Structure 1
């Protein structure tokens, strides 16, 4: 039987995760530097986005071509939201992200792209006005959530699902304020919605209120109305510090 091949970490972060322990004191001792990088990444993100008052984070597949109906819907929706003074935040890549940034550019509002360092380099699309690059996914997701008045989630892969369920978990556990989470493209998302109801709601693993956090919609007018209605509620319930 051949000897098993040793796993070679592909990145510095993976190397740190694989090799933590007493046998690797040099790597274990690098934790303070890692913490400092995380702190700096959070601080620089906050500084760059500090004047973003109302924005919508739009997610979806990087592989959606420009002639796809979802691409056109994302661009139209972002333009409509932009006319209501919502800035648009995406992951800054191609596909749905490009469509949303393009719509923001059409409307003349800030078109923000929060990129991520990956082994396979993904270039920032040409319609991003403010581009930030992150090393850590969790810091990047913090920025998506901190500055969003709503999430609009188009069909996408694992990354899109990660961002969707992170927001749902934080809202469900009241770690963040309740904002709309809209699933754009009911034909795509209806299967997931049925599965959640059948496999999570019926056995009592989530509540009816948890399921209601998700809104399926196809019409840009409906999505805009949901987002705008939520903004008015947020303004009505906001109390300045010391009031």
Structure 2
């Protein structure tokens, strides 16, 4: 992650993975759900408004939709978006992001602990988890398991706690600015894999177009 030839690098204590847009190409399933909800209430959200949902917790996304003028209680909006996203994913199927499954397999072969840290609720995440090899993740932290979602650090801190590791010795892989902010706030090293949202220089310790062609050694943590 650090190109400096003077940096000492070592295996991360764990790799902490975002899910939607990072492992699997499902961000659009959530955006389409939000768009459908808004249009049902006579509102046409802009592309920027939909992009603002990427990486947010479901409750924060519901608050954004209420800000568009969708006059529905947050809990009802969360339930409806979850229902529609699950419908969309079931209809479209799962498309893996380039290199993600291969990296998960390689890290598992290297006995590096893995955590899934997603703002999707467990009922949705299970579709992705069940499509991966058994026991891919040592720990799973979903949006309905934490009080504060991304960009707060709680989910990443919880994952490190459950793994019994220091989050500062971990690497987080994210596709959104909100997710990167959460991982950085927790103290992890962060790799950005841009998909629906561009990741500017400085928002992550490393930014790669995809995980294709990457090896576990690329995630070794630099010690300054």
TM-score category by the smaller chain? Answer: 0.3 to 0.5
Q: Pick the structure with greater CA Rg.
A: 1
Give TM-score scaled by structure 1 length. Answer: 0.31
Structure with higher RCO (Cα < 8 A, 6+ apart): 2
